[in-house]
Structure 1
Amino acid sequence: MGKTKQLISETIVVVRGGGDLATGVIQKLAHTGFKVVVLETAKPLAIRRTVALCTAVFQGRQQVEDTEAVFVSSVSECEAIWNNNQIPMLIDAEAKLLTELKPTVLVDAILAKKNLGTNKMMAPITIALGPGFSAPKDVDVVVETMRGHHLGRLYFNGGAIPNTGTPGEIGGKSAERVIHSPTSGNVQHIKKIGDVVRKGEVLFYIDQVAIKSPLDGVLRGMISEEVVCQIGLKCGDVDPRSFDKVDCYTISDKARALGGAVLDATLWIGREKNLF
């Protein structure tokens, strides 16, 4: 008899990172029936927090659309969370819990623009998003993350388009819509995500330094008050489009595209390796 294949409903997928783009990946895998578990840092740096499941680290749980993540402190708690159709989230920046979790699939969705330690020994199927990885050396497949014609493309040989250092254009604005911290220190919010803001209006403070809006628009992202912000860190994002054209509360088109690409890669490689 041939090798017994795994049921998708019994297949554990570890996703490293729970930011807004990772959330699109997590939702797609969970919808398909995989047992998804997220490994995060103790202080996630996501700024689009309303659509990032990693916010569960700070507040215990976070729901984005129909997908809810619950922060847990041990692997032993995961089964109960899965049985409740939720996503367990653990603090494990170095992926040390893989020996306990024993995943079939590992997805690096940290999007650090570099490899922070992911390798093919971590799981039978390994997938990485964005630049900093090369397939098949580091992982089985790399997913393109740059907006445009190739978004979501799977690379089985080579890697994604190198980081340009320039944010994607939205409403005709690119680098000017993104805020980087001019100093280091604690964060104090004045505005909230989803607020309509004017150029020059104070959005939040970092160590008593006022962080002002670079343009008129909608505050789409802002770093958590739980984070001690470091100088140069991306800490805010203002969407220049009108309020009726900005959605701060549902998964983006880019995140959904990446989710579909990761699901495609998972099923494709799983079939090729006769896993499920």
Structure 2
Amino acid sequence: MLIVIRGAGDIATGIGWRLWQCGFDVVMTDLPQPTCIRRTVAFSTALEEGQYTVEGVTALACPDVDAARAVLAKRCVAVIPDPEGACIAALQPAAVVDAVLAKKNLGTTLADAPLVIGVGPGFCAGQDCHYVVETKRGHRLGRVIEEGPAAPNSGLPGNIMGYTGERIIRSTVSGRFEPLCAIGDLVEAGQTVARVNGEELKVQIPGMIRGMLHEGIQVTPGFKCGDVDPRGREADYTTISDKARAVAGGVLEAVLRRYGSRMQ
């Protein structure tokens, strides 16, 4: 059974990884130059490197639908540079999962597939998708919503050791992103970790670089370029996060609500 996931960042990767582990064929789409910062746990990295493995599951970059079908035959995840989701009509999947996490619906509709799942804010179950999966941390994280929207976007990242917005590295100008540190590096507060158009980007808190844009991405003021985990050496940047696993569990539940009895 084929499932198409719009988006191939870290949360979408958690979803794709879990669905693949449960026996589903998975095709994912993303920008030709992905802007995910947690690249060590994102299948979108395959579009940069040709192929990429996350926790034992390998994704291969595919230029088109025919190449994606060939990759599926190898029991790998296929990733297509297709932000508009044009491949969906050709692939005719059993389900479409919109995990772009744009905080708004960029064009997903109920007509896209027999089962359409929206992930996070911007979707309303019963209107533009069949189910919504909650992405806000807390008691409802990963919950499947049958009617209505997910919680609205708070505008703040998750709280780690009392830090929220301070963890994020954002560009102050427009230009080409140039990283000076790598994911996994330990940094101190005030340290310069990247440059954009000659402008230095400094971190606000000490910790470990857990996310960083790929070199050469064109950014604008306020663009999210990276993040710092204040747990330092204890931070894990090589495996799927607890949040991604919880959201993935919600998506798997939604798929099984629709198709579980047919798979026996």
2:237 equivalent in structure 1 = 248
How far did residue 275 of structure 1 move? 7.9
CA distance in 2, matches of 1:99, 1:162: 30
How far did residue 269 of structure 1 move? 1.7
Q: Is the 8 A contact 1:12 1:104 kept in 2?
A: yes
What root-mean-square deviation, in Å, do the aligned CA atoms of Structure 1 and Structure 2 show? 1.3
The answer as to 2:49 corresponding to 1:98 is: no
Q: Which amino acid aligns with 1:109?
A: A
Q: How does 1:11-160 map to 2 (within 5 A)?
A: 11-160=1-150
Q: Is the 8 A contact 2:103 2:121 kept in 1?
A: yes
How far did residue 84 of structure 1 move? 2.0
CA distance in 2, matches of 1:207, 1:275: 54
How far did residue 143 of structure 1 move? 0.3
Q: Is the 8 A contact 1:72 1:88 kept in 2?
A: yes
1:7 equivalent in structure 2 = none
Q: Is the 8 A contact 1:56 1:70 kept in 2?
A: yes
CA distance in 1, matches of 2:231, 2:9: 23
State the percentage of identical aligned residues.
Answer: 42
CA distance in 1, matches of 2:223, 2:28: 23
How far did residue 227 of structure 1 move? 1.2
The answer as to 2:162 corresponding to 1:205 is: no
The Cα offsets for residues 127-173 of structure 1, whole Å up to 9 and x where unpaired, read as: 01001010111100000001111000111100111001111101210
* 2:216 alignment partner, SS class: coil
The Cα offsets for residues 57-105 of structure 1, whole Å up to 9 and x where unpaired, read as: 1111111111111101111112321222211111111111212111111
Q: Which amino acid aligns with 1:41?
A: L
* 1:255 alignment partner, SS class: helix
The answer as to 2:250 corresponding to 1:261 is: yes
1:231 equivalent in structure 2 = 221
Q: Which aligned runs of 4 or more in structure 1 are off by greater than 4 angstroms?
A: none
- Of 187, 194, 197 in structure 1, the residue corresponding to residue 184 of structure 2 is 194
CA distance in 2, matches of 1:84, 1:16: 21
Select between 11-20 and 79-88 the one with higher mean Cα deviation.
79-88
* 1:186 alignment partner, SS class: strand
* 2:128 alignment partner, SS class: coil
Q: Is the 8 A contact 1:43 1:226 kept in 2?
A: no
CA distance in 2, matches of 1:76, 1:242: 43
Q: Is the 8 A contact 1:56 1:89 kept in 2?
A: yes
CA distance in 1, matches of 2:219, 2:33: 10
CA distance in 2, matches of 1:271, 1:24: 20
CA distance in 2, matches of 1:181, 1:275: 47
Shift in alpha-carbon separation, 1:275–1:95, aligned structure 2, 3 A: farther
1:8 equivalent in structure 2 = none
Q: Is the 8 A contact 1:125 1:270 kept in 2?
A: no
The Cα offsets for residues 161-212 of structure 1, whole Å up to 9 and x where unpaired, read as: 1001111101210111112210111111211000000111111111111111
1:221 equivalent in structure 2 = 211
Aligned length: 264
Q: Is the 8 A contact 1:120 1:140 kept in 2?
A: yes
The Cα offsets for residues 21-70 of structure 1, whole Å up to 9 and x where unpaired, read as: 11100001001111100011112111111111101111111111111111
